[in-house]
Structure 1
Amino acid sequence: MTTAAARPADLGKLWTLPGVYAPQADTHLLAQALQAEGITAGTDVLDVCTGSGALAVLAARMGAQVTATDISRRAVISARFNAARAGQRVRVLQGDLTGPIAEERFHLVVSNPPYVPTPLAHHSRKHRSSVAWDAGHSGRQALDRICAHARDVLHPHGVLLIVHSALCGADETLRRLDTTGMRSSVAHRARVPFGPVITGRLSWLRAQGLLHPDEDTEELVVIRAERS
């Protein structure tokens, strides 16, 4: 496991429609993990919750055959545009997590899903942009589903790389992946300043015991799991 700053990766120029998650520290940390996987021209990569398509385009630039999914139509448009502008071939499909490719298998799956714990009062609000980060009361609304189904879309010895905040419980992610027969571990950690979403709900997060009163940074984790 490495612990380091989520230094910016070379993700190229990216454009996003309003409400689409633009690359941030978690994107760059996951990009570092992706670059360490030794992608070759024969690698089939799936990017789940692609957002801007940053990771999908990076994998394509490394020579992989890439498919990306996102439930947001705006994200699909943004990812397709960014791939075309970068001169890379990326198949971008609209749909829920691995749903659009349920019958396919990949050597590598990467995902930066929504993971911010969300007060119940936020659940009834219809903010388009909040879909990119709000993830239920525990922050695990998408995480648990990815953990449950990642093995099904991986070749034997295929690898899942998933990034999320330690607020959601890295141990719970490891436990859920292990119960599906995956060998998992925390591959990367980084401490980053609070972003605007976390800052806006600091009082609630502290009241829930998810943040200590003296904490002024957020820990990000990249979990690597291999299908045995």
Structure 2
Amino acid sequence: MPRLIALPGVYRPQADTLLLADALAREPLGPGARVVEIGTGTGALALRAAARGAHVTAVDVAWPAVLAARLNGWRQRLRLRVLHGDFADRTRGRRYDLVLANPPYVPGPDSRLPTSGARRAWEAGPEGRAVIDRICTAAPTLLRPGGVLLMVHSGMCGAQKTLALLADQGLSARVTERARIPWGPVLRSRAAWLRQEGLAGEGEELEELVVVRAQYA
């Protein structure tokens, strides 16, 4: 992955980004395809799609991420439309061939989500599904017929819940990628709570990541 500018507080490409990039590489993304990335961060995935000739819109709720993605697009000389705000507001009335999503998915004890700061990139409520569920529910309004959603999240959030919710929305969904990685500092800092809630076993220090691929008929 090319070296990217990451302003303070912007989520840097990590294992989940790379796993989603692998899934993106296998999609038959033709020139002119319309793509949106939800929670773009540095723009890493949006830029990969743009490099293949897609018309890409990237959305993020954090201004530093919007600026970083714009800078990275300029540096790589790739056309990228980067918008600030909530994905539901910024995509209303538009449909895409491909939706990419690396939403906040870390479970935490506080049901009130942060409204500023770096924690917005990972905090996702007690089940880790505050944004995942919104994306699943919105998928039919985001996708063109035959369009595909690629979303990465932690196995702690329940891959089967994601598949079931997408199926309820009329999409055909399956897990296409899995990886196990060591816990990072955020999970380690709340290990006792995760075990208390049954989200992790005693002594467990590996997190499973999954990529869900869902297609709209």
| Interval of TM-score (by shorter of Structure 1 and Structure 2) | over 0.9
SS at match of 1:98: helix
Contact 1:174 1:184 in 2 (8 A): yes
Say whether 1:132 aligns with 2:121: yes
What per-residue deviation string (whole Å, max 9, x for no partner) do you get for residues 77-105 of structure 1? 11111111111000001111232121111
Structure 2 counterparts to residues 139-158 of structure 1, below 5 A: 139-158=128-147
* Counterpart in the other structure of 1:161: 150
Asked whether the equivalents of residues 113 and 120 of structure 2 are also in contact (C-alpha less than 8 Å), the reply is no
Aligned residues of 2:173 and 2:212 also touching (Cα < 8 A): yes
Residue aligning to 1:71: 61
In structure 2, how many angstroms separate the alpha carbons of the residues matched to 1:94 and 1:15?
18
The correspondence for 2:100, drawn from 106, 110, 119, is 110
Distance (whole Å) between structure 2 residues aligned to residue 124 and residue 16 of structure 1: 23
Amino acid at match of 1:195: G
Aligned residues: 217
1:208 is displaced (CA, Å) by 0.7
Which residue in 1 is equivalent to 2:72? 82
Identity within the alignment, %: 48
CA distance in 2, matches of 1:83, 1:198: 32
Once the two structures are TM-superposed, the CA of residue 127 in structure 1 deviates from its matched residue by 6.0
TM superposition shift of 1:214: 3.0
List structure 1 runs of 4+ shifted beyond 3 angstroms.
Answer: 122-127
Task: Decide whether the 8 Å contact of 1:189 with 1:222 is kept in 2.
Answer: yes
Given that residues 48 and 68 in structure 1 are in contact (C-alpha distance below 8 angstroms), is that contact kept between their aligned partners in structure 2? yes
Query: Partners of 2:113 and 2:146 in 1: how far apart?
Result: 41
